[in-house]
Amino acid sequence: MMQAQSVAELLKKRDPGLQTEIVPIRTRADNLQNVAIMELGGKGVFVKEIETELLNGGVDIAVHSMKDVPAELPPGLEMVAYPEREDPRDVLVTRGNVKFEELRRGARIGTGSLRRRMQLLNAMPDLAIVPLRGNIMTRIKKIETDKLDGIILAAAGMRRMGWHNLVSQYLDPDLMVPAAGQGVLGIEIRADDDDLRERLLFLNHEQTVMEIKAERAFLRRLGGGCQVPIAGFARLQGRMLKMRGIVGTPDGRMLVDDTVRGGRDEAEKMGEALADSLLDKGAREILAIEYVNC
């Protein structure tokens, strides 16, 4: 909801006379918060109902967190704009403000993300990972109710809510590689709505566009979903783009990792090249594994 409101405010700032209406849509993932995302069918459950409403004409614009959007969009829909990226990092929220390197052996850490689980267990195999779903405050409260040592969340959500004071540590992307699209909002419309497309193009942030192009191309090439842990993070520095990708198993025991660098105009080619490199290194075999209740 806050994401949609932030986009509405940008539109009104551009055109003060513009009338907007926020239409809340509860997705299947919202309604079944005690069920693992993998069991619901993957990350597409966060956007399916919203995209159906968009195709049916119930809404004209959909605002998504791009880390929740599958690599392929439904026919008839188009992503037309990406505002400036929020902080892409993950954060650690702990009991007693303990930092990652200070966690006790066997610490209980909550997360619903296979990507985070993979990287946590690869770094500290003795951690006890506790599955976690729900909104941000629900997850934070579980530190007490479920006797957790801490939880991992996206920095973007904490910052949008203004809860910086609850963060124990911002995790460097070299320690916890973010999900493709993390911190990025995507503006989706019907592909035949040319007038609306033109009105929304001003929302595009050049650096964010280059980064998300690389990350989305990376995901498309891998063809992976929520069932396999995948991390992919691109960062534009001047005219050079650097991207790191990881594919692994949920227990962190198998992991392939690589980094590519190139010019800003080669974003999509870089994402595809990184995916190809990981596939050649063993990601193809990992992606072929069928995981059950992981």
Active-site residues, by number, are 68
Both tokens of 182, joined, read 């993390």
Contacts of 54 (CB under 8 A, 6+ apart): 60, 61, 62, 77, 188, 189, 190
Both tokens of 273, joined, read 């090249």
Residues 74-98, buried b or exposed e (16+ Cβ, 10 A)? eeebebbbbbebbbbbbbbbbeeeb
Distance of alpha carbon 28 from alpha carbon 42, whole angstroms: 11
Q: Which residue has the tokens 């949609």?
A: 4
- DSSP secondary structure letters along 219-257: HHHHT--TTS-EEEEEEEETTEEEEEEEEE-TTSSSEEE
Contacts of 138 (CB under 8 A, 6+ apart): 33
Q: Which run of H or of E encompasses 171?
A: strand 169-171
Alpha helices in 124-247 (DSSP H): 136-145, 155-161, 194-200, 206-222
Distance of CA 27 to CAs 51, 53, 60, 69, Å?
Answer: 10, 11, 17, 13
Cβ neighbours of 46 (radius 10 Å):
21
